[in-house]
Amino acid sequence: MTITIKTAADIEGMRIAGRLASEVLDYLTPHIVPGITTDAIDKLAHDYMVEVQQCIPAPLNYAPPGYAPFPKSICTSINQQICHGIPSDRQLKNGDIVNVDITTIKDGWHGDTSRMFVVGEGSIAAKRLCQMTYDAMWRGIVKVKPGARLGDIGHSIQTFAENNGFSVVREFCGHGIGRKFHEDPQVLHYGRPDTLELLVPGMVFTIEPMVNAGRREIREAGDGWTIVTRDRSLSAQWEHTVLVTETGYEVLTVSAGSPAIPQFVRETATA
């Protein structure tokens, strides 16, 4: 395993890429309403990234080994879709939940983030799943500091999610990021504390738990990309790109429209 440690100049580049990715989500937020297609969301995002931000949408034509090139500029995963949903002519309906996953490339650096959106009036159960998944991501983020280990992050996420009656997808994980879309290390969203790689300043990786309302088992849809829950239960995901600092962590994928940080995080910071 080769984990790249970012320099101060590298980190500044990643802050810019991360902010831009988050600002795409800010831009899309008012458009995610009943009746819009995910293709239309993709076009809005693509044009904003290319024409306004003058950056590159990383997913477009991305082709890891064994995969056909991804045909769109963003991922949109609806309801029981866990991740890697391909935008299409499907219209969003009142009550749907959708994850919108953005990765920008600016000056060679990647910024990777995603948010959940409740379309129109969502059910109490759907809104609870989205909120608890957001909190689960932050339960992992607050574990990031020099001397901690990756297992601490996964254990905190898994424990919180399962204690609230949900399950955590095992087959997909967070990842190192920098000049490459996916670098070492893999960041599992489950596990045991005080295991796996030691965190040191300058490491940058994503934390992006996928949490299911039902069982954790998955299957691949027929398009070769989209992953869905085997039991067709709802699934939610949030994602931030996180830097290990000298004293703790810095979230790189934030912008003016980012959702509020959970109260327990603010309490931890002032404790």
pLDDT in tens, 63-103: 999 899 999 999 999 999 999 999 999 999 999 999 999 99
- Whether the pLDDT of residue 266 is over 70: the answer is yes
Per-residue confidence (pLDDT) for residue 267, from 0 to 100: 82
How many angstroms separate the most distant Cα atoms in the chain? Answer: 49
268: confidence class by pLDDT, cuts 50, 70, 90: confident
Kindly state which CATH superfamily the domain 8-63+72-270 is placed in. Creatinase/methionine aminopeptidase superfamily (3.90.230.10)
Structure tokens at 55: 């950056």
- Whether the pLDDT of residue 129 is over 70: the answer is yes
- Whether the pLDDT of residue 227 is over 80: the answer is yes
Give domain limits for the chain: 8-63+72-270
Choose among 178, 142, 172: nearest CA to 251: 142
Per-residue confidence (pLDDT) for residue 271, from 0 to 100: 56
Q: Cα–Cα distances in Å, from 134 out to 40, 130, 156?
A: 25, 6, 13
